[in-house]
């Protein structure tokens, strides 16, 4: 059986993700003025520097939270692809490169991270049009 969190706790957990997208040494972006983290788009083997296709810099207010849903701010955003491959996974990393959230799905629809095309060639523009994380309620 899965662990079930109370509604307010689910919201608080997602707000912690937003705060962690700053620096590991500076927990709250709004009060420290640090730069925001990144959204890393990768292949199914995404891990550290392996499988990275594109890196998108997030806004200094990287996301908003409403209830059980975190929504990435400032989209659409684009970046130039650093490698060629099929986009399958994404991670949110703070500005020190530490992974805050991993295992996000990537697709052109019905995924956590929506991009314009999952077939990516090095040098092409990668556009992220939507990004949400929904905390399971049960």
Could you list the pLDDT tens digit for every one of the 138 residues in the chain?
578 888 899 898 898 898 888 644 444 444 445 567 999 999 999 999 999 999 999 998 899 999 999 999 999 999 999 999 999 999 999 988 999 999 999 999 999 999 999 999 999 999 999 999 999 876
For the CA atoms of 70, 136, 54, 27, the dihedral, rounded to the nearest 10 degrees, stands at: 50
| Integer angstrom CA distances of residue 111 from 28, 35, 73, 108 | 28, 27, 17, 7
Output the CA angle 39-49-71, nearest 5 degrees.
10
pTM of the predicted model as reported, rounded to 2 decimal places = 0.87
């Amino acid at each position: 059986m899965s662990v079930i969190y109370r509604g307010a706790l689910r919201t608080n957990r997602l707000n912690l993700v937003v705060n962690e997208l700053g620096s590991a040494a500076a927990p709250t972006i709004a009060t420290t003025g640090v730069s925001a983290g990144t959204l890393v788009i990768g292949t199914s083997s995404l891990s550290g520097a392996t499988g990275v296709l594109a890196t998108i810099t997030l806004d200094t207010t990287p996301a908003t939270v409403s209830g059980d849903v975190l929504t990435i701010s400032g989209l659409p955003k684009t970046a130039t692809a650093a490698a060629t491959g099929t986009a399958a996974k994404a991670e949110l990393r703070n500005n020190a490169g530490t992974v805050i959230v991993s295992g996000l799905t990537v697709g052109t629809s019905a995924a956590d991270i929506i991009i314009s095309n999952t077939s990516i060639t090095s040098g092409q523009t990668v556009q992220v049009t939507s990004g949400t994380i929904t905390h399971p309620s049960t």
